[in-house]
Structure formats: C-alpha cells, structure tokens
C-alpha cells in the first residue's frame, strides 16, 4: 500500500464532509465525462436544485410518480423543470442510466482491484481508504433519505405508504456524489476511467440523478455539524442545512423537531418529566445535565461503596436511567478531585457492579490495582 493510496482516505474524507456551493462547472464536466465513458450521448439538460429533497421531487415528476407530492413541492419542482426547458411529465428525461454511469463502472473497478490485490490485499485497501468513512457517511445518507421521505410523503396512511414507496424508488436512482466517497476512496485510482466522471462530480457537488436526456443534480449542504462520534449534532440550529432551506435537526445523533431546540434553554425537572416522548426526554436530560437533574429533583442514592455512588432516575413509560458517581483518585493540578458520572445499565444494583460494567467486567472480577 503506497502513501498515495493511504492519503486517498484523507482526501475523500474531506470530500464527504464538504459544505458550500457546488463547483457547477466542474460537476457538469464530470457528468459529461461519466456519460462518455459509459458510451452514452451527453445529457441535453443539467437541472440544478438546492437539495436532495428538491432533486427527488423533480425526479418524481420525471418518472411519472409526482401525483402524491405535496402541493408546494410539486409546484417548485415543476418550476425548476420549466426553467430548464423540460416538460414536467413522465418520460421527458428518458430512462435512468445510473447502472451505466455508476454501478457497472464501480463493479469493474472493484473486480479489477480485487483480482490484482487478492482478498487480503483488497481487505487492507478497504480498511485504509473506504472503511474509515463508511459508517459516518452511511448514517448521514440514511438520515437525508429519511428526511426526504418524511417531507414528501403526506396524506392518509394508505396514501402516505404509497408515496413513501415512490420516494424510495426515486432515491434509488440517485448517484450520491460526495457521499460516494467511501467507494471512490477505495477504487477511483485503479479505475479504467469509468469512474473518473463520478469522482469529478463527487469532488464538486452533491447527489445526482442521471437520465438519458437530462441530469438532476443537488447542491451540497451549506452547514454540517457533528459530534466527536460523527453523529449529527447541534443545539442551536440545524445540524445539516441546504441552500434551499431543507434542513435536519439533531442532538447527538437523535433526530429532533426544529422547534424542540428552542425549548432547551428553559428546561426544568418538571418539564423534563412531563415530556411524553421518551427519546426527546433523554435528549432533555443530556442537555440539562444528569447531575443537575439529580440535585434539583431531590433524587436519592440507591447504593454507595468504595467505588462510588449509584443513582437511579425513574422515568414515566421508560426504563430508568442509572448513573454511578465516581471521584477521580488522581488530583487535578489545583489539588481538587474531578467527579464523573458514568451511565450504566438500568438493572445495575451496586456502584461496583456499575463501574465494573464500564470495563467489561462483573463486580466479582473487578479488582483495580489503582482507580483513576
């Protein structure tokens, strides 16, 4: 494995997380290159949209599945197509050519790399390039897909189910642009040229829908906020936002309503207990602080021993939250000792059992030489 190959993972990590307006000229050049490599005539029209949401609505109109679109989304999609000189009717852009411009070139590149490197060599390459990007990028794309489906599927239960199916099918026609980074990191340099076009688009733009006569392409996000684990996370605004206003809100990976974040500044223990949604209540607890909640709720310790103090917060219609309060035995530079709160399983009976669990041990085998 060369240093260049190892560096590809770093390069594509930046691509996957890129924000800001697309480089439209570069993206369109990449699209034409992808069509040429697939033996296709270049698309007659390239239709730019402000987000994957808007692009999916346009794709639904082009595939004759736009009947169930919400009125505003349908109107915007029709206007976008009209501005590009395309009739907003089924078949106006022709059939999807995703297989030709993305799926088959990828399969050839992967097969060639696998043959050249062997199973262990391919595994090593994937571990150094695509694998570090895979989990966080897949989670992000799934969250975007879910947001698109939620925004475009309305009506009665039956109508909503039918529309969800249509939206999911439209999303399957998308090439993920920058979010194809894990795959491209592993094979783009060994391609026969078939992936040069998709790689160029990925470096310049977001998701795109290739059809015989036209391409629908989305801008990249303008904001992306994540925590240390790579999860969408922001307490004072959208965690992911696109230039046309499509946005996703989340707290430490947990999707939350847009107006929910406005409540966090005025939380009280009573307000937290009154929240009926268990997941949102957990978000409230994390934001408010377990120690503060315990103190202001008058909670009582369940068990105390030499390892720490076990506390339990009983919640309505949800399993209790168990925490062990421990004191670092190594003093801080100023001579004080820092207190930590360890989240442990609700079934925990003693402080020692809880601390042992954090090390993957049971209470009987947990015998630290020195606790830090």
Average pLDDT over residues 18-45: 97
d(CA 211, CA 35): 10
Contact 349, 341 (CB under 8 A): no
Query: If you average pLDDT over residues 22-35, what whole number do you get?
Result: 97
Output Rg (C-alpha) for the chain, integer angstroms: 25
> What is the pLDDT confidence band of residue 6, given thresholds at 50, 70 and 90?
very low
Query: Which pTM was predicted?
Result: 0.78
**Eight-state DSSP code of residue 310:** E
80-107 as b/e: b if 16+ CB within 10 A: bbeebebebeeebbeebbbebbbeebbe
- Across 196-217, average pLDDT: 96
DSSP helix/strand/coil, 336: coil
Which pLDDT score is estimated for 336? 66
Residue 158, pLDDT above cutoff 60: yes
For 209, half-sphere exposure in the C-beta direction (CA atoms, 13 angstrom radius) is 28
Query: pLDDT band at 337, cuts 50/70/90?
Result: low
Q: Are 266 and 272 in contact (CB under 8 A)?
A: no
- Residue 1's pLDDT band (cuts 50, 70, 90): very low
Rounded to the nearest 10 degrees, the angle between the axes of helix 52-62 and helix 131-152 is 60
User: Residue 287's Cα: distance from chain center in Å?
Assistant: 21
CB distance 192 to 4 below 8 Å:
no
Computed over every residue of the chain, the mean pLDDT equals 88
Alpha carbon distance 29, 341 (integer Å)? 54
Question: pLDDT by residue (tens digit) across 275-310?
Answer: 777 678 778 877 888 778 877 876 778 899 988 999
For Cα atoms 80, 83, 84, give the angle at the middle one, nearest 5 degrees.
90
* Coil, helix or strand at residue 208: strand
- Cα gap 258→256, rounded to integer Å: 6
- The CB density around residue 191, as the number of other CB atoms within 10 Å, is 21
Task: Give the confidence band of 199 by pLDDT, cuts at 50, 70, 90.
Answer: very high
- Taking CA atoms, 321 is separated from 166, 260, 315, 345, in Å, by 40, 22, 8, 8
According to the model, what pLDDT value does residue 335 have? 66
């Amino acid at each position: 494995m060369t240093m260049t190959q190892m560096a590809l993972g770093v390069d594509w990590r930046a691509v996957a997380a890129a924000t800001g307006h697309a480089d439209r000229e570069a993206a369109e050049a990449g699209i034409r290159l992808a069509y040429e490599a697939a033996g296709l005539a270049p698309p007659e029209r390239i239709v730019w949209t402000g987000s994957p949401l808007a692009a999916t609505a346009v794709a639904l109109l082009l595939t004759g599945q736009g009947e169930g679109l919400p009125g505003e989304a349908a109107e915007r999609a029709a206007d976008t197509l009209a501005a590009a000189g395309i009739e907003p009717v089924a078949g106006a852009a022709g059939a999807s050519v995703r297989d030709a411009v993305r799926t088959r070139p990828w399969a050839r590149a992967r097969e060639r790399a696998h043959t050249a490197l062997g199973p262990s060599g391919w595994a090593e390459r994937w571990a150094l390039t695509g694998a570090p990007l895979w989990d966080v990028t897949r989670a992000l794309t799934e969250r975007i897909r879910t947001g698109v489906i939620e925004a475009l599927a309305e009506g009665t239960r039956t109508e909503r189910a039918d529309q969800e199916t249509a939206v999911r099918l439209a999303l399957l026609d998308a090439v993920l642009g920058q979010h194809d980074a894990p795959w491209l990191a592993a094979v783009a340099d060994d391609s026969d040229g078939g992936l040069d076009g998709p790689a160029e688009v990925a470096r310049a733009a977001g998701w795109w829908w290739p059809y015989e006569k036209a391409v629908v392409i989305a801008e990249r996000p303008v904001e992306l906020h994540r925590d240390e684990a790579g999860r969408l996370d922001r307490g004072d605004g959208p965690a992911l936002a696109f230039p046309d206003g499509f946005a996703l809100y989340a707290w430490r990976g947990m999707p939350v309503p847009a107006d929910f974040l406005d409540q966090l500044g005025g939380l009280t223990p009573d307000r937290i207990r009154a929240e009926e949604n268990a997941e949102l209540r957990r978000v409230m607890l994390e934001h408010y602080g377990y120690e503060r909640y315990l103190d202001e709720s008058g909670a009582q310790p369940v068990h105390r021993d030499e390892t720490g103090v076990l506390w339990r917060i009983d919640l309505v219609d949800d399993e209790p939250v168990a925490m062990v309060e421990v004191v670092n035995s190594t003093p801080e530079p100023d001579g004080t000792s820092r207190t930590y709160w360890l989240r442990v399983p609700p079934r925990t009976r003693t402080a020692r059992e809880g601390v042992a669990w954090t090390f993957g041990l049971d209470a009987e085998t947990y015998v630290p030489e020195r606790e830090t």
